[in-house]
């Protein structure tokens, strides 16, 4: 009985610490990343207090019970990034009048002043982000039994996001109706995309994708065919959000998992592996051919290509390249080693993103739509190097432990590839996650890898 109470207490404090930490970082934990969120002194004191109390309590209880030993290497990496961010924020210069040229002509200017209190708040947010990421991984793998932890995360994630999806069917019904009536007509006057209660349709798509990944884990553990049914429902909803990056990357993830699962289940011999792989490839190619034929017969092939490759706003590679150029200019205002500083970078970038030349509309964009540039802007070369070190360590440990825990290691490697594909033209990655969607992805990727490494190798990370 006492053990169950302690376990529930650990889950509660773990969740509370992460929630408070992410809220301090962004102002929005679940509904979207909000780098321009302004905190008052009372907000800072309240959420910092919750974060510190829950973190210290979680730490002391489990140190006392001898259930936890800090991973000093991982902690050092995160603290290095925190210190670099604080230095970048402290040394960033005020700009009374900064003039720059637009990408297609024209001259723009902005002013920006940052007082001491704001610098301190940004520095606190950077430190809390690093500590939250550390708690997410280090406490996650040491305090909980791995399979149980993943099942709890998967069930809770799927339940909550399913509720939001049902809400979307009610509040966004006109979006679903218009999509099917005017599908692929991207300049339709009434075209909107479902977002449920979230900030925008892209955030909704991220949460749906996380629920999709939760279903993959549940199928991995329980091996029940009916888990594929809600996967299809979730995927249709992801497609209808018009987030093409996730539409493609989630499809590739599902196909990779399906191939692995079928080969693992039916391909016991070389001959059966070849037959199984051939059947999967045949079904996939047939699906592409049938889809293409339907689009041609309905005179929608050109619209579909335009729908996937071009856009009226910031969803195409062409418009993203403009944002990437503005990102470089933002970093040039600070220094490339420490970057502009966490969240301060978003406030500077939005001043460069005055207008999108491809649509002549204000974009108010605070993200780079590329994870590498996002790391460079927020934390400079220092932060990017630390991310690459952590990523390299996780990949190395996953490959090394394939023989010990093949199923979860393969899933983790698949999700790393999925994250890399997404991060090429979108902001957000499972290392230094800033919202619940990416934090859950961190739990699914990093915790199994580090937990398996600690279990099967005598030298735990110290």
Tens-level pLDDT at each residue, the chain (462 residues) = 667 888 888 999 999 999 889 888 876 555 555 444 555 555 777 888 999 999 999 999 999 888 888 989 999 999 999 999 999 898 888 766 666 665 555 566 667 788 888 888 889 989 999 999 999 999 999 999 999 999 999 999 999 999 999 998 888 887 777 766 665 554 444 457 888 888 778 888 999 999 999 999 999 999 888 898 999 899 988 988 878 788 889 988 998 898 888 777 766 666 666 666 666 667 667 767 776 776 666 666 666 666 555 544 444 556 677 778 778 877 887 888 988 888 888 877 777 665 444 443 444 556 778 888 889 988 899 999 999 999 999 999 999 999 999 999 999 999 999 999 988 877 788 898 888 889 999 999 999 999 999 888 755 444
* SS3 (DSSP) at 32: coil
DSSP, collapsed to helix, strand or coil, labels residue 112 as strand
Contact 120, 128 (CB under 8 A): no
| 361 bridge partner residues | 356
Phi, psi angles (nearest 5°) of residue 166: -60, -40
Q: Which of 42, 86, 77, 82 is nearest to 344 (CA)?
A: 86
C-beta of residue 131 within 8 angstroms of C-beta of residue 24: no
- 207 vs 334: CA distance, rounded Å: 33
For residue 31, the Cα-to-chain-centroid distance in whole angstroms is: 13
> How far is it, in rounded angstroms, from Cα 308 to Cα 291?
14
Distance between CA 241 and CA 238 in Å, rounded?
A: 5
Closest C-alpha to 22, from 153, 135, 151, 106:
135
pLDDT score recorded for residue 462 = 41
Question: In whole angstroms, what is the distance from residue 344 CA to residue 342 CA?
Answer: 5
Q: Which secondary-structure segment (H or E) carries 407?
A: helix 406-425
pTM recorded for the entire structure: 0.84
Among 402, 444, 398, CA closest to 419:
444
CA distance linking residue 13 with residue 120, whole number of Å: 26
- Residues near 200 by beta carbon (within 8 Å), at least 6 away in sequence: 32
Alpha-carbon distance of 169 to 208, in angstroms, equals 13
DSSP 144-187: S-HHHHHHHHHHHHHHHHHHHHHHHHHHTHHHHHHHHHSTT-TT
CB 25 within 8 A of CB 33: no
């Amino acid at each position: 009985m006492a053990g169950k109470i302690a376990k529930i207490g650990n889950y509660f404090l773990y969740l509370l610490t992460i929630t408070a930490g992410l809220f301090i970082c962004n102002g929005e934990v679940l509904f979207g990343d909000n780098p321009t969120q302004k905190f008052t002194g009372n907000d800072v004191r309240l959420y910092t207090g919750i974060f510190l109390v829950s973190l210290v309590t979680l730490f002391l209880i489990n140190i006392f019970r001898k259930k936890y030993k800090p991973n000093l290497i991982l902690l050092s990496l995160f603290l290095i990034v925190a210190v670099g961010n604080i230095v970048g924020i402290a040394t960033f210069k005020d700009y009374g009048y900064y003039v720059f040229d637009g990408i297609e002509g024209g001259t723009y200017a902005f002013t920006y002043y940052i007082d001491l209190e704001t610098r301190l708040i940004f520095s606190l947010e950077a430190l809390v982000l690093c500590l939250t990421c550390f708690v997410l991984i280090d406490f996650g793998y040491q305090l909980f039994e791995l399979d149980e932890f993943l099942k709890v995360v998967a069930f809770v994630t799927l339940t909550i996001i399913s509720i939001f999806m049902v809400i979307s069917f009610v509040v966004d019904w006109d979006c679903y109706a218009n999509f099917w009536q005017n599908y692929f007509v991207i300049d339709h006057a009434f075209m909107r995309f479902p977002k449920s209660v979230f900030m925008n349709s892209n955030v909704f798509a991220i949460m749906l994708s996380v629920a999709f990944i939760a279903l993959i884990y549940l199928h991995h553990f329980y091996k029940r065919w009916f888990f594929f049914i809600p996967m299809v429902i979730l995927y249709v909803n992801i497609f209808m959000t018009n987030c093409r990056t996730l539409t493609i990357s989630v499809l590739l993830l599902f196909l990779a998992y399906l191939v692995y699962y079928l080969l693992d289940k039916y391909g016991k011999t070389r001959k059966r592996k070849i037959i199984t792989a051939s059947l999967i490839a045949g079904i996939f190619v047939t699906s592409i051919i049938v889809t293409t034929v339907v689009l041609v017969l309905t005179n929608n092939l050109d619209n579909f290509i335009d729908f996937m490759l071009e856009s009226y706003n910031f969803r195409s590679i062409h418009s993203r390249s403009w944002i990437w150029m503005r990102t470089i200019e933002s970093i040039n205002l600070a220094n490339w080693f420490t970057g502009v500083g966490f969240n301060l970078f978003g406030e500077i970038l939005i001043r460069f993103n005055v207008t999108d030349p491809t649509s002549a509309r204000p974009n108010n964009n605070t993200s780079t739509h590329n994870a590498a540039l996002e790391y460079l802007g927020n934390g400079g070369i220092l932060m990017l190097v630390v991310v690459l070190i952590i990523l390299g360590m996780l990949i190395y440990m996953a490959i090394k432990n394939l023989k010990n825990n093949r199923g979860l290691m393969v899933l983790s490697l698949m999700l790393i590839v999925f994250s890399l594909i997404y991060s090429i033209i979108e902001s957000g990655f499972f290392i230094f996650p800033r919202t619940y969607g990416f934090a859950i992805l961190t739990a699914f990727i990093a915790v199994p890898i580090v937990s398996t490494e600690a279990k099967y190798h005598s030298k735990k990370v110290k």
